[in-house]
C-alpha cells in the first residue's frame, strides 16, 4: 500500500490521515518523508541551531498530525506545515531572547583551513541571525528550503515584490557584514 501512496497528492494523503490507524500512519509517513528535511532546515536556521529547534521540529509534525485527526479540510499541505513551524518558531522567539555572539568575536586562525571554514560557516550563521526577522525568514525559505519566491509569498501572506525586496536586502546586508571577514580570510588562505 505504501508504494501506491507515493503517487498521491499531499491533499489526498492528508485526507487519508483521517482513516484507520494503519492507513493514517502510512499517509503521515509519506508526508513526513516529503517535508521533514525542509522543515528541519527551516527550524534550525530560524532558531539559530538552538536545541529548541529540534523540539519545534517535532512539535510541528505532532500538531500537523493532530490537525488531520480533527477532520479539518486542507488545500495546501506544504503551506500549512511551514505555517505551523513558523508560528512555533515565532512564539519561541517571543518567549525568550537568546544571547547573541557579536560578529567581532570571531577570529579566523591562519594555521588550519578546515577550522577557518567552520568558523566562516559559524560566522555566516551568526550574520543570518542578526538579520531583521522578515529578511531572515525569507532568505532561509529561499536558500535553505529551496522555495520559490511565489511559495514564500504565499506562506508569509505577502506580495511577490516584497519577497524579492526582502531577499535582496538580506543578501546585501550579509555581504556588507561579511565583507571584512572574507577579505581577511583571503589574506589568510
What are the average pLDDT values for consecutive 10-residue runs of the chain, which has 189 residues? Answer: 74 88 90 92 84 91 89 85 90 66 42 58 79 89 87 90 93 86 66
Secondary structure (DSSP) of 120-185: HHHHHHHHHHHS-HHHHHHHHHHHTS---HHHHHHHHT--HHHHHHHHHHHHHHHHHHHHHHHHHH
Q: Give me the pLDDT at residue 99, please.
A: 44
Same domain, 91 and 6: yes
Q: Which three cell numbers stand for residue 42?
A: 527551516
Same domain, 76 and 113: no
Q: Give me the pLDDT at residue 96, please.
A: 63
Q: Give me the pLDDT at residue 180, please.
A: 79
Domain end among 55, 72, 95: 95
Same domain, 6 and 89: yes
Domain end among 95, 129, 157: 95
In which domain, by residue range, is 42 found?
2-95
Domain end among 67, 95, 123: 95
Q: Give me the pLDDT at residue 117, please.
A: 65
Q: Give me the pLDDT at residue 107, please.
A: 41
Segment 159-168 long-range contacts (CB within 8 Å, at least 24 positions apart): 163/138, 166/134, 166/135, 166/138, 166/139, 167/135, 167/138, 167/139, 167/142
Same domain, 178 and 110: yes
Amino acid at each position: 500500500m505504501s508504494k501506491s501512496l507515493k503517487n498521491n497528492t499531499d491533499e489526498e494523503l492528508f485526507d487519508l490521515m483521517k482513516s484507520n490507524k494503519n492507513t493514517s500512519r502510512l499517509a503521515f509517513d509519506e508526508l513526513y518523508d516529503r517535508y521533514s528535511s525542509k522543515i528541519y532546515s527551516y527550524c534550525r536556521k530560524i532558531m539559530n541551531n538552538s536545541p529548541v529547534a529540534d523540539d519545534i521540529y517535532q512539535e510541528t509534525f505532532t500538531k500537523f498530525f493532530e490537525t488531520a485527526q480533527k477532520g479539518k479540510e486542507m488545500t495546501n499541505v506544504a503551506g500549512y506545515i511551514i505555517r505551523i513551524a513558523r508560528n512555533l518558531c515565532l512564539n519561541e522567539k517571543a518567549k525568550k531572547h537568546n544571547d547573541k555572539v557579536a560578529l567581532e568575536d570571531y577570529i579566523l586562525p591562519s594555521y588550519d583551513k578546515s577550522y577557518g571554514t567552520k568558523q566562516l560557516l559559524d560566522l555566516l550563521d551568526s550574520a543570518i541571525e542578526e538579520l531583521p526577522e522578515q529578511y531572515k525568514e525569507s532568505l532561509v525559505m529561499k536558500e535553505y528550503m529551496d522555495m520559490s519566491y511565489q511559495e514564500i509569498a504565499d506562506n508569509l501572506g505577502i506580495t511577490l515584490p516584497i519577497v524579492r525586496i526582502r531577499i535582496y536586502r538580506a543578501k546585501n546586508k550579509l555581504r556588507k557584514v561579511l565583507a571584512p571577514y572574507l577579505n581577511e580570510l583571503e589574506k589568510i588562505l
